[in-house]
Structure 1
Amino acid sequence: MGEDLSYLLEPQNPDQRCGFVAIVGRPNMGKSTLMNHILGQKLSITSKKPQTTRHQIMGIKTEGDLQVVYVDTPGLHKDEGKKALNRYMNKAASDALRHVDLVVFMVDRTAWTEEDQLVLEKVQNARCPVVLVVNKIDSLKDKQELLPHLQELSAKMDFAEIMPMSATDGHNVEQLEKVIASHMPNSVHHFPEDQVTDKSSRFMAAELVREKLMRNLGDEVPYGTTVEIEEFKYDEQKKLTTISALILVERDGQKRIVIGEKGSRLKTIGRDARLDMERAFESKIMLNLWVKVRRGWADDDRALRSLGYNDGD
């Protein structure tokens, strides 16, 4: 008889709980802000522009016997037929609903749009409880409007909970975490205690550059840009990380806008990204940026896969 290895299948700690939580909603709902607030650090990039988040990004919070794995998703939107990138983002958001223990569905104050309805139809098919978070209540001028709106929302679906909240200032976030914890199943932890994301440092570096593009450019240009990390190298002796990033745009005019007059805008983007990278990677950073035109990258499935936009991301 062989050695009995069944003990390996048994939980090491029967009190441990671990579960997955998808944070979903239409674009610009504060999903990334919420996850960053819960984790106490920046993992998902943020800007005031919709569709800043393009990938599923996992954030892991472990406290004692409880591990919660948050999945930040791109905003679900109606432009599904527009470009391959739009289809990719909608698929990434929809896929996140398949294998989670809880869904946090975020909406904006007293607004309800067609895109909120689209998200509602997706979450109604989720095989787990759904918590509705009514975000940005800090900027609601007339608080009297909130109660009747919450009653309207409660009629749309049998939500596990409806919570008014402000992800920016943290109002009710702690209460939300308690609700989330109550839905987490008994399970061994899936990740080491000190791990906070499933993403690589290269991915995080690319995202930080893209965040600065979103924040420093006008309305249209950021959607035609993406970032590819060509070099990520740490010099132990100098305690210096060298990062070379290629900013891809779709047209020559966009390239001129990203670079700015005498390189001024690119310099600002590089400085802001470098400072964030030094905080994120706890290292001195040498950041080199280049801008290159790659026509039609956002509507080319093959180009998207080569840039890391793939189903498994």
Structure 2
Amino acid sequence: MNSSENDIFSLPEQVTIPQAPPNFKSGFIGIIGRPNVGKSTLMNHLVGQKIAITSPVAQTTRNRLRGILTTPAAQLIFVDTPGIHKPHHQLGKVIVQNAKIAIESVDVLLFVVDSTTQCGGGDRYIAELLQNSPTPVILGLNKVDQQPIDSQPIDDSYAELAVTHQWQTIKFSAKTGTNLPELQQLLIQHLEPGPYYYPPDLVTDQPERFIMGELIREQILLLTKEEIPHSVAIAIDQVEETPSITRVIATINVERSSQKGIVIGKGGSMLKSIGSAARQQIQKLIAGKVYLELFVKVRPKWRQSRIRLAELGYRVEE
């Protein structure tokens, strides 16, 4: 893997950031919403590369992940926040607290909702969190490609929410790309003139190791379905690069022995499937061959322990 490939994932030391041209705009955009409304899919599509994992399981996103889109006119730094929900454990509290911090530390908020269902209690809960925020809010109706034929009652329910809070609205599909150029222009309109915060060719501020761990976790969520919901955390133990191949050793941490059995599978079949699928994704990430070795370790109640959460990279953001 050469340095130019590595540079698009994490900010190298002593990098020179160029001066922005006249009338250039820049700023931070918080993507918020309930779990599973398509926030990570949207950010991946906007930056043009997969940096956030997606899954049909709720609460896929845990860390505040920044995706960076640089155009000739602007640099948009997207902050993909975890789905805002009622927390049931220490990890959940950290997740929701980080989402609330993101609300207060961005220039524009994109409140993403699922346009296949009417506005519900979860959406109204988030709207209440935003009503006293001085940050401009755009209400984004995602999944328009999946709307029922008679979508008027759904659209009306969100229109009422938008009118109540005086928000602009836009309909789009993060999956197909419908209206994403219009969304991009709307977001730029709300940004102030500013500098390049990151080099123009960077797509995320997260290091490759973090993205590798997320890609492994994504395959566990996809392949084990509801059996291993959120009691899994990935530790990248070693990354060794050679001109011909990158060797990655990682540990899958679960909370119970029964979960370890599910992840490993009969005769190691599930672990092999997870490793094979994750290896393919990591190869796309680094644009080179990968040897991936996975281990499974039981860490009882790690989601309830602040110390273990910190060890696995989950901290309340400043």
Tell me if 1:48 matches 2:53: no
TM-score of the superposed pair, with normalisation by structure 1: 0.91
Q: State how far apart, in whole Å, the 2-side matches of 1:90 and 1:220 are.
A: 23
Specify the alignment match of 1:271 in structure 2.
276
Identity of aligned residues (%): 38
Larger radius of gyration: 1
Equivalent residues in 2 for 1:206-217, closer than 5 Å: 206-217=213-224
Q: Which amino acid aligns with 1:120?
A: A
Deviation per residue, 1:246-278 (Å, 9 max, x gap) = 000000000000111111111111011000100
Tell me if 1:88 matches 2:94: yes
Which one of 193, 202, 214 corresponds to residue 209 of structure 2? Answer: 202
**Which is further off, 115-124 or 55-64?**
115-124
TM-score of the superposed pair, with normalisation by structure 2: 0.90
- Name structure 2 gaps, 5 residues minimum: 1-18
SS of the residue aligned with 1:217? helix
Cα drift, residue 286 of structure 1: 0.7
Alignment coverage as a number of residue pairs:
298
Cα drift, residue 77 of structure 1: 0.3
SS of the residue aligned with 1:18? strand
Cα drift, residue 220 of structure 1: 4.1
Q: State how far apart, in whole Å, the 2-side matches of 1:117 and 1:156 are.
A: 11
Deviation per residue, 1:177-220 (Å, 9 max, x gap) = 01001111111111011111110011000000000011011314
Q: Which amino acid aligns with 1:277?
A: I
Specify the alignment match of 1:4 in structure 2.
none
Q: Which amino acid aligns with 1:84?
A: Q
- Name structure 1 gaps, 5 residues minimum: 1-10
CA gap of 1:308–1:45, structure 2 versus 1, over 3 A, is same
Q: Which amino acid aligns with 2:89?
A: K
Q: State how far apart, in whole Å, the 2-side matches of 1:206 and 1:244 are.
A: 10
Q: Contact 1:103 / 1:123 at 8 angstroms: preserved in 2?
A: no
Q: State how far apart, in whole Å, the 2-side matches of 1:206 and 1:103 are.
A: 28
Specify the alignment match of 1:63 in structure 2.
71
Q: Contact 2:101 / 2:317 at 8 angstroms: preserved in 1?
A: no
SS of the residue aligned with 1:96? helix
Which one of 184, 189, 207 corresponds to residue 182 of structure 1? Answer: 189
Which one of 229, 232, 246 corresponds to residue 225 of structure 1? Answer: 232
Q: Contact 1:132 / 1:162 at 8 angstroms: preserved in 2?
A: yes
Specify the alignment match of 2:129 in structure 1.
122
Q: State how far apart, in whole Å, the 2-side matches of 1:123 and 1:203 are.
A: 30
Q: Which amino acid aligns with 1:304?
A: L
Tell me if 1:284 matches 2:289: yes
Tell me if 1:16 matches 2:24: yes
Which one of 234, 245, 250 corresponds to residue 255 of structure 2? Answer: 250
Tell me if 1:104 matches 2:107: no
Q: State how far apart, in whole Å, the 2-side matches of 1:121 and 1:144 are.
A: 24
Q: State how far apart, in whole Å, the 2-side matches of 1:178 and 1:13 are.
A: 18
Cα drift, residue 146 of structure 1: 3.9
Q: State how far apart, in whole Å, the 2-side matches of 1:288 and 1:222 are.
A: 22
Q: Contact 2:119 / 2:154 at 8 angstroms: preserved in 1?
A: no
CA gap of 1:220–1:121, structure 2 versus 1, over 3 A, is farther
Q: State how far apart, in whole Å, the 1-side matches of 2:310 and 2:84 are.
A: 20
Q: Which amino acid aligns with 1:299?
A: Q
Tell me if 1:299 matches 2:311: no
Deviation per residue, 1:65-99 (Å, 9 max, x gap) = 410100001000012xx211000110111111112
SS of the residue aligned with 2:192? coil
CA gap of 1:145–1:12, structure 2 versus 1, over 3 A, is closer
Cα drift, residue 153 of structure 1: 2.2
Cα drift, residue 283 of structure 1: 1.6
SS of the residue aligned with 1:168? coil
Equivalent residues in 2 for 1:160-175, closer than 5 Å: 161-175=168-182
Q: State how far apart, in whole Å, the 1-side matches of 2:139 and 2:43 are.
A: 15
Q: State how far apart, in whole Å, the 1-side matches of 2:186 and 2:97 are.
A: 27
Q: Contact 2:118 / 2:158 at 8 angstroms: preserved in 1?
A: no
CA gap of 1:12–1:33, structure 2 versus 1, over 3 A, is closer
Q: State how far apart, in whole Å, the 2-side matches of 1:201 and 1:148 are.
A: 43
Q: State how far apart, in whole Å, the 1-side matches of 2:162 and 2:297 are.
A: 49
